[in-house]
Structure 1
Amino acid sequence: MSSESAASYAAVLRAPLASRTFSAALVGRLSYGIVFLSLVLAFTQATGSYTMAGGAIALFGLASSLLSPLRAQLVDRYGIRRVLPPMAIAYALLLALVAVLTWRPGTPSAPLWSLAGITGAFTPPLGPIMRTLWSDLLSDRTLLHRAYSLDTVAEELLYVTGPLIAGSLTGLAHPSLGVLISAVLMIVGSLALAASPAADPAFSGRLRQGEVPPTSTPCSDKPTKSRWSLFAGIADVRRLVLVTVGVGMCLGSLSLFMVAFAERHAQLAAVAWVEAALAAGSAVGGLTYGAVPWRLKLESRLPLLATGLALSLAAAGFAPNIGVLSVLVGIAGLFLAPALTTAYMLADEAAATGAKTQASAWVNTAFNTGSAAGSAYAGLLIERLALAACFAVGALPPLLGALAGMRKSRNAAEPSQGATSPEVATETASRSD
């Protein structure tokens, strides 16, 4: 990355309160990177059943993902400082209870299933909260674009390093230790984030106008009034999430396709290199995307990025060996972080004031639910189709979403400020996280 690009990201972090707030959010978000593998290993060791562990993780993931917009709406309505600390404390205490119950084998499955679902229901929406704070801290749209790119890349890297930490803790001690450390990270990060003056909407609003120095005492947290509705203030996001669902389905299916490819080439261990290529490509693509000034509107960029991801995935199915597959998957990764960054930017612009956290949460929900669906149908495809055909079918969801987005963006009138999300759905379409 050029020195000019590096300087652009340095400018983001030099903004008042940016480094302090972002660091706190990253500490808490590292918990998410560690917790999933730690829970899988802890549940498996405690019950001796992969089926039980898989069911518990499914309940945890579904509750965490599907309820994310509702938790985000609580944050938008009552403020970060009133909602985040009790939510994080409840989540951490539940994780600690999971760690205690799974430390020794023999715990009955039913309590663990119930506890997994309840714990997931309290997962704090740290990613959506941080993206809302970025839009408060940075009034310059160019810097905000870079901040979103940096945020997306950092989040993906946490999901790469988190499982490595979880595996190390399992080898050194016990998988439940990873669950416990996840709880500690969530408490520390969430409380530090809530303590930042940026978490006070009155303070951050004045900061954007340059009226309050970073050392000022924060004002009292004021609730944001909004109508109780899953799409209150974010109607345009219902169209945006369809493209994001397609991107999630593509990535969810790709994970299984890579494993199947490596297994058929008798190089199962090499799948780690393919995963690394995907992560590296996404990081490079995200950082480059954030540093480049774009003339093309956001609503036009998203379908183009989704198309690039889809075509790269389809091409990967024709790879003759694991090395070529790694290169092609790395190319696909170049489009991943930029596509998610663009989706978050569009959600921010489409949302009314007081609904930005919820809008960002819907993008997360769309991606996560799409990823789960992609994993589900990928297994069925692998059993019935040639692998090259599997990759091609896996590329269809983001491609269809991109085609719809391109058609709508050509027909749309000039978007007004604060309402520039792509029109990517028909009247009968549905969504999910």
Structure 2
Amino acid sequence: MPSSYAAVLRTPGAVRLFSAALIGRLSYGVVPLSLLLAVSATTGSYARAGWLTALFGASSVLLSPVRAGLVDRHGPRRALPPMAAGYALVLLGLAAATWRPGVPYPALLALAVAAGVFAPPLGPVTRARWSALLPDPGLRRRAYSLDTVAEELLYVTGPLLAGVIAAATARPALGLVLGAALVLGGTLALAASVRTESGTGTEPAGAEDRSRPWQLLARTRQPLAAAAGAGAGLGAFGLLAVVFAQRHGQAASAAWVEAALAAGSAVGGLVLGALDWRAPARARLAVLTAAFGGTLALAAFAPTLPLLAAVAALAGLAVAPTLTTAYLFTDELAGPGRRTRAGAWVNASFNAGSSGGTALAGLLADRLPLPVCLALAATPALAALTTVRLGGRPSSGSADRPDEAARAEDPSAHLGGAPSA
């Protein structure tokens, strides 16, 4: 397993790409909690802080495909620096506005929306760059697995770092300053790692793709549904785990359930990348989605917190592999010129599913028995399986070859995309 990932990092340009992406994406782990704490401190209201943070997240997620489309059209070297500069400047504005009480709440809301508008799509760009750097299917799968696991760990490390800053300095706005520095430095380094916008090493900026956006969405409906289902299941399960812990008189122990889920996901993601798989991505994604939904449904039968944590770890084994395979499959179906945007759609689907699952679980938790709610948390992932047979029939050819997707004669006639992989 170590040699598998070492082969990825030995690829020319890989370490530079990976380190730059990690620095920039750490900002997205630090900023949300820092923003929540800074706004609650300056307004004296957690409700206002929650609404503002939700608005920031919504504007960031909803506009991510648009920003990714700009990257596909103009290339990372031209599109990313203005986004990073705008995002960093707005974060600094939010830090200044929340340093002391007194700034009107509507002004804070406007700044939060502006931050979401500018947030550079670092995850989709990084995955598109992996596809350009690694034409070998096995290495590309390992790179995606490593990337997904690293991203999950950043979303654990970032909030911890934000909490340490707030506790040590009593100035949570400093977390926003750190977030600005991280995203600006990481994004500029990532853009600089793209040596050329055409020729070897990457796809040409604005590569031709005559398909319409709705056709891209139709081709990629199976991975988008899988990502949305996984997000909804995880969002619902996260909230219900807190309810479960509270009803057992151990509210703080909910963190152990989340930790078990994260650990299982990391292990599953690394194993997915290290092993050689013969099954095409369409079949792998269906199996992984079913495995995640099926194991998550076992939570309904957990009588104690330790058993719930065990179920979480078991379900976690399929989380990173499901997302990694969804990204890989989407990358193939999109083809050159649309990979960044297609990856952003997977991100948006996952985040939208997570938000919707959390909100729905909150409503159901007060109305239905908790075991029923836990069982229902698995239904979005299982419902995503209905798209498997609707994705088109794979044609002959080797698996895991995105170039086949680029050579599809008529995208509108092949809604399922290119050969499965």
Q: Under a length normalisation based on structure 2, what TM-score does the superposition of the two structures give? A: 0.91
**Partner residue of 2:37?**
41
Question: Partner residue of 1:385?
Answer: 368
Contact 1:303 / 1:403 at 8 angstroms: preserved in 2? Answer: no
Instruction: Quote how far apart the aligned CAs of 1:109 are.
Output: 1.0
Aligned to 2:419: none
Q: Distance in 2 between matches of 1:393 and 1:101?
A: 42
- Which residue of structure 2 lines up, in the alignment, with residue 210 of structure 1? none
Query: C-alpha distance in 2, partners of 1:304/1:32?
Result: 31
Identity of aligned residues (%): 50
Q: What amino acid does structure 1 have at the position aligned with 2:161?
A: I
Give the Cα separation in 2 of the matches to 1:391 and 1:182. 35
Which structure 2 residues correspond to residues 81-120 of structure 1 after superposition, within 5 A? 81-120=77-116
> Displacement, 1:114?
1.3
TM-score (norm 1): 0.89
Give the aligned partner of residue 189 of structure 1: 186
2:318 is the counterpart of 1:332: no
Deviation at 1:414, TM superposition (A): 3.1
Which of residues 265, 276, 280 in structure 2 aligns to 1:282?
Answer: 265
The 3 A distance-change label for structure 1 pair 281 and 49 is same
Q: 1:61 to 1:227 in 2, by over 3 A?
A: farther
How many residue pairs match? The answer is 402
Per the alignment, do residues 360 and 198 of structure 1 end up closer, same or farther by CA in structure 2, a change over 3 Å counting? Answer: farther
Q: 1:152 maps to which residue?
A: 148
Aligned mate of 2:129, from 126, 129, 133: 133
> Which of 305, 309, 322 pairs up with 2:305?
322
Matched, 1:200 2:197: yes
Contact kept? 2:148, 2:323, Cα under 8 Å: yes
Query: Distance in 1 between the 2:29 and 2:111 partners?
Result: 20
Unaligned runs of 5+ in 2: 406-414, 416-421
What is the CA–CA distance in structure 2 between the aligned matches of 1:71 and 1:231, rounded to whole Å?
A: 17
> What is the CA-CA distance between 1:400 and the residue it aligns to?
1.2
Distance 1:241 1:106, change over 3 A: same
- The 2-side partners of 1:229 and 1:90 are apart by 29
Partner of 1:255: 238
Q: What displacement does 1:303 show?
A: 1.7
Pairwise CA distance, 1:60: 0.6
Shift of 1:241: 1.1
Give how far 1:186 is off.
Answer: 0.2
User: Please, which of 383, 386, 406 is the counterpart of residue 400 of structure 1?
Assistant: 383
- Alignment of 1:240 onto 2:237: no
Instruction: Find the partner of 1:370 among 318, 342, 353.
Output: 353
Check whether the contact 2:209–2:336 (CA below 8 A) recurs between aligned residues: no
Query: Judging changes above 3 Å, is the alpha-carbon distance between structure 1 residues 201 and 132 closer, same or farther for their aligned structure 2 residues?
Result: farther
Distance 1:295 1:200 in 2: 33
Question: Distance in 2 between the 1:169 and 1:203 partners?
Answer: 43
> Which residue number corresponds to residue 25 of structure 1?
21
Q: Counterparts in 2 of 1:342-361, with a 5 A limit?
A: 342-361=325-344
The one-letter code of the counterpart of 2:296 is: L
- Matching residue's letter, 1:123: A
Q: Deviations over 1:252-300 (max 9, x none)?
A: 1111011001100110111111111111100000000111111111101
Q: Aligned partners of 1:330 and 1:29: how far apart in 2?
A: 25
Q: Name the CA shift for 1:79/1:413 in 2 (closer, same or farther; >3 Å).
A: closer
Separation (CA, whole Å) in 2 of partners of 1:43 and 1:248: 27
